[in-house]
Structure 1
Amino acid sequence: MTAPREVDQGGLEAVSTVDRVPSLTGVRAVAALLVVATHAAYTTGKYTHGYAGLLFSRMEMGVPIFFVLSGYLLFGPWVKAVAAGAPWPSVRRYAWHRVRRIMPAYVITVLVAYLIYHFREAGPNPGHGWYGLFRNLTLTQIYTDAYMFSYLHQGLTQMWSLAVEVAFYVALPIMAYLLLVVVCRRRWRPVPLLAGLVGLTLISPAWMVYVHTATHLPDGARLWLPGYLAWFTGGMILTVLAAMGVRCYWFIAAPLAVVCYFIASTPVAGEPTTSPSGLAQAVVKTLFYMAIATLVVAPPALGDQGWYERFLASRPMVWLGEISYEIFLVHLVLMEIAMVEVLHWRVYTGSMPVLFVVTLALSIPAAWLLHRLTRVRS
């Protein structure tokens, strides 16, 4: 049996021609726009504006949406192989495609950022050194104590999430083996498989308890994969449900996602920061983000054909989704340049919508060019 060849993709998850769903590419566009929006809100000082600030900060929801998509799309080949009694996917091929998809554009972005900030002063930049360059290039910058004061680099602060994504890539074949071979005995047994995925999901709140109570862990441990595994397992659960023929409709998922978003935008999910300082808030935020991101992805992943799916599958959304990964990579460098050189604003001042639009105006052409240079071809 010959697997379909991979084609030019946007986002992080290259999928085969046969399996590709345009609306899921559109979801990547939504995720990228949310990430740019939340950073525009932070840069213009909107996080401190009460409940509105929390609403803006929770637009970081783009990151868990990316993670849910990764869990759904990348776990799919293993689930389909077991469900169809087909050969097990090649781990070597999987690993090569992961490296080929993310590293060329990422390496170029990191090198350009280091070059720009070698000549440009933009405040504290602790990661700007040869060892910081090495740690950022290898996506190992989060595996340290005092990450914020050691390897954080201007224009690359969002890359902690890419380091988590890569850790998931490494762990996925192991998790697939445990779930599908050890638990399911290489047979299609969706109930034990879902139970195993629920067990993996519980690792995230357990990790939150651990990092908030242990004294021997580096502070970077709050950014490690176990704390965000629930977001990936949300997508993995969708993969199993899709193979079972389950359907999810936008008129159910969308209102639930909105309600969860407004709840998560209260202090119950902590202050407007990546990792809330309180244990209860960290657990609530992790689980609500999993629910919201999974609800956003569920309708197109589970076969809905309503207006929501048609909007996500529209040409503009698919086109933006194609370059969503590259937008994610370049937008912070260009946002800082937009603030200082184009808008002439000081940090934590100015209009969030204006900065959002100007940043996109700079980022989209740069992302398109980077995508053209590094895209995966047939």
Structure 2
Amino acid sequence: VECLDGLRGVAALWVLIGHMMILTGFRLPLIGKPDLGVDLFILLSGFLMMYQYRLRAGSEDWDAAGTWASFWTRRFFRLAPLFYVALAAALIAGPLIYADRVAIDSFLGQSLQPSERYTDGSLANIALHLSFLFGLLPDYAFRTPLPDWSLGLEMQFYLLFPFLILLGRRIGWVPAALVAAGGGVVVALLAGAAGLDYPMPSFLPLKLQLFLAGMLIATDPGESQPRQWSRLAAAMLLAAIPIGGDQDLLHFAVRELLVFGFFALVHWRSLGVIGWVSRLLGSRPFYWLGELSYGTYLLHLLILQPVAAAVIGEFGTGLGGAGRFALTGAIVVPVTYALAFVTYKLVELPGQKLGKAVIRRVAGDRTPRALQTAPEKIAAP
């Protein structure tokens, strides 16, 4: 799917630009909503997991516990190595970054962030983040300088994914998605009734519908057109479920457009402008934006907040919002992508190799050769 890498890159850049706008006081509609970039990541993640399942269907037995273990191992080693490096940096630099954030919020007249989000070095906070369990607990779901709430969310989806596969194979993919989404809504409502107030939608039932919508977009190319249309309709219905994040008209419309547009890029890429956009997103520059998307997403706030604070401290009201945004971006964007490239080479790729080595050691010759060497992609941050 040639557009996939480019869309990953666009999603990461969307989040980066949106956060730059928030932290410099320069706002534009749509692009200034980084949460919508995360929603795109979530759609891509659901699609990618289902797409890889279909590619490996002939060589993986999803009724076997070993397949589940290999899947979870691959996904852990795709996310964890860079996250652990970034987490260490965030915990060390947290108090300094908090001082920068206070300066930014005070200048822009925004509500101050809770200090514990930046300064909590407790063993409980560290243990919950190392285990990726932090997203389940409202008090710890948003408690580092990183935008890592979505990583805990992603890990919850990975944990659930094999069960979704079994359900889909038993009752069909669209019914399974609707049943799972309905269950997610019930759990989310019960959590709200129990007083669980998540500062970010880090609890899987709050965003499960978007993962499921992405899974439905990964249809079998051999399916009939009516079946594909039914999947698109179901995916758009799922994206319209009003839980998890902002639910105003803009967010509703953009989520629907993201689902429809992604479906078009996957299934109608032979058509005119859609094909041109798909090829553009599959070009070499967009490929690299996609490869660096995880590092860009995870690391950018560690760079952005000190730089934005420095720009504000140096120029104050002498520089307008657009000027602050431009100057901050001129520093943050190249530095972030350079750091993402370095960590991609030194952390992400070795981490993936380590994960494959662990699988080979445990599974031995039972692991198909194609799976031992296949690159691991990540969509959602």
Q: TM-score, normalised by structure 2?
A: 0.71
Query: Which residue number corresponds to residue 70 of structure 1?
Result: 45
Query: Which residue number corresponds to residue 91 of structure 2?
Result: 114
What are the ranges of 5 or more consecutive residues in structure 2 without an aligned counterpart?
Answer: 103-113, 227-231, 354-372, 374-381
Query: Which residue number corresponds to residue 162 of structure 2?
Result: 173
Query: Which residue number corresponds to residue 126 of structure 1?
Result: 116
Query: Which residue number corresponds to residue 256 of structure 2?
Result: 291
Query: Which residue number corresponds to residue 153 of structure 1?
Result: 144
User: What is the correspondence of 1:20-31 to structure 2 with a 5 Å cutoff?
Assistant: 21-31=1-11
Determine which of 203, 212, 218 is the counterpart of 1:233.
212
Determine which of 259, 266, 276 is the counterpart of 1:301.
266
1:32 and 1:328 in contact (8 A); partners too: yes
In 2, distance between residues paired with 1:108 and 1:118? 17
Q: Deviations over 1:91-131 (max 9, x none)?
A: 12211110111110111011112222355533453042133
Query: Which residue number corresponds to residue 245 of structure 2?
Result: 275
User: What is the correspondence of 1:313-328 to structure 2 with a 5 Å cutoff?
Assistant: 313-328=282-297
2:39 and 2:210 in contact (8 A); partners too: yes
**Code of the aligned partner of 2:346:** L
Higher helix fraction: Structure 1 or Structure 2? 2
Deviation at 1:208, TM superposition (A): 5.4
Q: Does 1:95 align with 2:50?
A: no
Distance change >3 Å, CA 163–CA 288, structure 1 → 2: farther
In 1, distance between residues paired with 2:7 and 2:205? 24
Partner SS state of residue 218, structure 2: helix
In 1, distance between residues paired with 2:222 and 2:209? 20
2:132 and 2:152 in contact (8 A); partners too: yes
Distance change >3 Å, CA 42–CA 205, structure 1 → 2: farther
**Code of the aligned partner of 1:275:** G
Q: Does 1:350 align with 2:329?
A: no
Q: Does 1:32 align with 2:12?
A: yes
Q: TM-score, normalised by structure 1?
A: 0.71
Distance change >3 Å, CA 371–CA 87, structure 1 → 2: closer
1:24 and 1:300 in contact (8 A); partners too: no
1:24 and 1:297 in contact (8 A); partners too: no
Size of the aligned set, in residue pairs, is 314
Q: Deviations over 1:313-355 (max 9, x none)?
A: 1111111111100100100111012213356466997333443
**Code of the aligned partner of 1:240:** T
Deviation at 1:285, TM superposition (A): 7.5
- Identity level (%): 22
Determine which of 333, 336, 341 is the counterpart of 2:305.
336
What are the ranges of 5 or more consecutive residues in structure 1 without an aligned counterpart?
Answer: 1-20, 184-191, 248-252, 258-263
In 2, distance between residues paired with 1:350 and 1:327? 23
1:72 and 1:236 in contact (8 A); partners too: yes
In 1, distance between residues paired with 2:295 and 2:197? 30
